Every structure is written in C-alpha cells, then in structure tokens.
Amino acid sequence: MDDSTLTVSCNDCEFDGTETCNDCVVNFLLGRDPQDAVIFDADDARALRLLNGAGLIPTIRHRKRVS
C-alpha cells in the first residue's frame, strides 16, 4: 500500500464500540458493516480535508489501537 492511501478498519481503532464511533465520518458517509475496512484514495482524502476545513464534516477520528 502506498502513502496516498488511508485505510480505516474499525477492528483496529481504539474508539470501536464507543460513543465516538457513533459519530465517525466513516459510519456517516458509508453506512458500512462494522467489520469492513474503508479505503480512501488521495482524491477522497483531499475532499474530506476540504469539507472538514469548511466545517461541514468532523475529522476522521480513527486512532490505531496500541497493543
């Protein structure tokens, strides 16, 4: 995987199953199954940064869980 790809997997997020998870932009945008990874390409990430910068969406709150 190259540096222009951001992979978000709820399985490895420290906020999985918490109140923060309920307000996650990934859940809001995609309504995906809880165990599915979501992959944003560089264009998607750029669009999300622009939307966030304009105050239209919250930031991605995914934080990699530390073992």
Q: How many CB atoms lie within 10 A of CB 10?
A: 20
Task: Establish if 58 belongs to a structural domain.
Answer: no
- Residues 7, 61 contacting (CB under 8 angstroms): no
In tens, the pLDDT along 8-50 reads 777 888 888 888 877 777 666 666 676 777 677 889 889 888 9
Task: Establish if 60 belongs to a structural domain.
Answer: no
Closest CA to 52 of 20, 35, 28: 28
pLDDT on residue 54: 92
pLDDT on residue 62: 67
pLDDT on residue 41: 84
Q: What are phi and psi of 33, to 5 degrees?
A: -70, 140
| pLDDT value at 1 more than 60 | no
Provide the residue count of the chain: 67
Task: Establish if 34 belongs to a structural domain.
Answer: yes
Domain containing 28 equals: 6-53
DSSP 50: H
Task: Establish if 59 belongs to a structural domain.
Answer: no
- Read off the pTM: 0.41
Task: Establish if 21 belongs to a structural domain.
Answer: yes
* The token pair that represents 16 in the structure block: 């999985």
